[in-house]
Structure 1
Amino acid sequence: MAPSQTHWVIAALETFFCPLPNFTIPASHTCEFRNYERTRPDQIAERIRDADIVIVSILPLTAEVLSAETAPHLKMVSVIASGTDAVDLATCRARGIVVGNTPHCNVTTVTEHVLGLYFATRRSIMLTHSLTRAGDWAVKGSQQTTMNGPDGKPPRTAREELVGIIGYGAIGRNIEVTAKTLGMKTIVAGRKGAPAPEGRVSFETVIRGCSVLIVCLPRLPETLNLISEAEFNQMKPYSLLINVSRGGIVDEKALVSALKERKIAGAGTDVYSQEPAEPANSVLLAPDTADLNLVMTPHLAWYADETIDNYGRACTENIAEFVTIGKPKYQVF
């Protein structure tokens, strides 16, 4: 059912991450647009107090700030991201607040970032870069052994890889297609602890058998610490782990231990249990990880001109359809 009102207060709380395009809504409606480049958690309540629609990316919208006491007029949350784990969805359901997201907008760039992390880890690019700058090549005469895996063998080529895709949404499907163009073999994991449906391979078989594991699934209660010590103990010594999903899905302490103990050959990650990550809050960034084959990027796998254009379009479509028919184009619920 279409909302009865025609004037809307829209608060965009973090346009630093994704600037919005010139914003228009259908001609029969008017809006008051409040644009905030950055918003601290302690500023949320004040900024959404009289808002009808709130636009966010990663800012946490807790039950408290979504309450009727704090945001009595709130009718819609528009998330500029695929993941909605920063929003208390239970409170939104209870209050009848509609939630829309912007899926499939970053598929191309995240896929390309996965390939970048893959080649950087398989070829030990960051590690050999640091050693070369430090003069180690001149001292040893060669850096070949630095590139060897824990099995003592040189790095594999893409055509020798068996890639296990954990999470088969739009990004997982695009990674599969792109990996095959490089000559990689691919399999898709089923749910952990459950029989694999037709066309997929059991989670445990993927963990044990693949040379590259790519994690690209949502952060949910059932996916927290999905890959931890038990999984690392089963992986091949030449295997790589690439994580572009959300922090907390891979147990970071277990990952560091697996790299130090040479249980796996390397890892690349774009996400962290605590963000922004820094040495004080992340074991991945501790001083004793500097000599590991661990490549880290600051949650920017999504970032590209194409992605920003896609986000702006999807957000505009969500809000336009919500104010006219009461349902965003990309509705979470």
Structure 2
Amino acid sequence: MADATLPQHLHIVALQTELTDLPKISLPAPYTFSLTKYVTTPIGQVAERLRDADIAIITTVPIRADTLDPAVTNKLKLICAVASGTDTIDLAACRARGIRVLNNPACNIDAVAEHALALYFAARRSILPSMMALTANEWPQRGTLIKTAEHANGTLPARRCAAETAVVVGYGGVGKRLVELLRMLGMNVVVAGRKGQAAADVPTGRVAFDEAIMTATALFLCCPRTPDTLDLLSTAEFATMQPDSILVNVSRGGIVDETALLVALQTNQIAGAGVDVFAQEPASSETSPLLAPDVVGAGLNLVMTPHTAWVSAQTNANNARVLLENLNGFINGKMEEERIKA
């Protein structure tokens, strides 16, 4: 049943069309709408741009408590997050206002899982250090670049997939798909329990977190960002990992302590890393130690992408479909429960 308090004419504001192409929007009769689109929206302009909005469409721009103040956005009734995560939205403030938040779960599962594999192979095979040595004309100077394909300064040959113990942290849609792919590659796959979870509470078929990261030769992070997962991996955890282990992070920034990761790579505590997310985004040399000028080009086995694991034609099509379903479901009072966040 439609919400009787909804006005028949709705103003929709899309704040970040540079990240997601909007589908052709239509609403069920008798509702009409006006649409204002922005290519990008600086944080400082979010509140003003949503001042007269009934519905906001976002991807990653923060929607904070000050924006959700009734004196600022008194008309706002729905936030559609065209993303799987809602960690940039103050959900508590939305609940207090009765503002509905709907997201797009499961739209990017295949793309993110496949990107995780791309990062794994790039790091496991030392693609970046090898390429940098090659393009620096070091092959004729050194006679061979075979050692660039090995880890820990050429003392640990790369593992094949069949010799990997792959640990997956986070067993949502991406985690489940990743487990399938890793097993098809012949890896021994382990799903980790939650950090700090008592042994008696670890679900059947999973391994306690501390034990899992100690045995991992390839560690994949695909968990949501919550207070419990912030700095999930830091100095203490890296100290327990195997020296030829590879870390892949396609979850969210802040789950890995970036300074601790850099030290772990520089001191050969781990063999390499593939990173798609950063604690502060957009990331730069001013915000992330991983992007500092003396790190980039220093020969570390570190491959990085700018939060693009989700990008694919399939993801775009899924996002468009689910966004329309969310808009129409909200108006008709028929929303998918797994998409409701507030």
- Provide TM-score, normalisation by structure 2: 0.95
Counterpart of 1:103 in structure 2 is: 105
Counterpart of 2:341 in structure 1 is: 332
Q: Distance in 2 between matches of 1:328 and 1:175?
A: 25
Aligned with 1:142 (options 141, 144, 147): 144
Aligned with 1:26 (options 6, 25, 28): 28
Counterpart of 2:302 in structure 1 is: 294
Aligned with 1:15 (options 12, 17, 21): 17
The one-letter amino acid of 1:331's match is I
Q: Given the superposition, is the C-alpha separation of residues 24 and 328 from structure 1 closer, same or farther in structure 2, using an over 3 Å criterion?
A: farther
Which ranges of structure 1 fall in alignment gaps of 5 or more residues? none
Q: Distance in 2 between matches of 1:94 and 1:201?
A: 38
The one-letter amino acid of 2:162's match is R
2:311 is the alignment partner of 1:309: no
CA drift at 1:31? 1.2
2:192 is the alignment partner of 1:189: yes
Aligned with 1:259 (options 246, 257, 265): 265
SS at match of 2:228: helix
Q: Distance in 2 between matches of 1:232 and 1:258?
A: 6
Q: Distance in 2 between matches of 1:117 and 1:45?
A: 37
Counterpart of 1:87 in structure 2 is: 89
Counterpart of 1:227 in structure 2 is: 233
Q: Paired residues, what number?
A: 333
The one-letter amino acid of 2:312's match is A
CA drift at 1:146? 1.9
Bigger mean CA deviation after superposition, 150-159 or 137-146: 150-159
The one-letter amino acid of 2:215's match is G
The one-letter amino acid of 2:96's match is A
Aligned with 2:330 (options 322, 326, 329): 322
Aligned with 1:241 (options 243, 247, 265): 247
Aligned with 1:38 (options 40, 63, 75): 40
**Conserved 8 A contact 1:54-1:77:** yes
**Conserved 8 A contact 2:125-2:150:** no
Backbone CA RMSD of aligned residues: 1.2
2:291 is the alignment partner of 1:285: yes
CA drift at 1:87? 0.4
Counterpart of 2:121 in structure 1 is: 119
CA drift at 1:328? 5.6
Bigger mean CA deviation after superposition, 253-262 or 141-150: 141-150
CA drift at 1:144? 1.5
2:173 is the alignment partner of 1:164: no
Q: Distance in 2 between matches of 1:26 and 1:328?
A: 17
Q: Distance in 2 between matches of 1:65 and 1:251?
A: 29
Q: Distance in 1 between matches of 2:291 and 2:277?
A: 12
The one-letter amino acid of 2:329's match is E
SS at match of 1:63: coil
SS at match of 1:221: coil
SS at match of 1:262: coil
Which ranges of structure 2 fall in alignment gaps of 5 or more residues? none
**Conserved 8 A contact 2:161-2:187:** yes
Q: Given the superposition, is the C-alpha separation of residues 326 and 63 from structure 1 closer, same or farther in structure 2, using an over 3 Å criterion?
A: farther
**Conserved 8 A contact 1:320-1:328:** no
Q: Distance in 1 between matches of 2:241 and 2:59?
A: 35
SS at match of 2:247: strand
Q: Percent identity?
A: 45
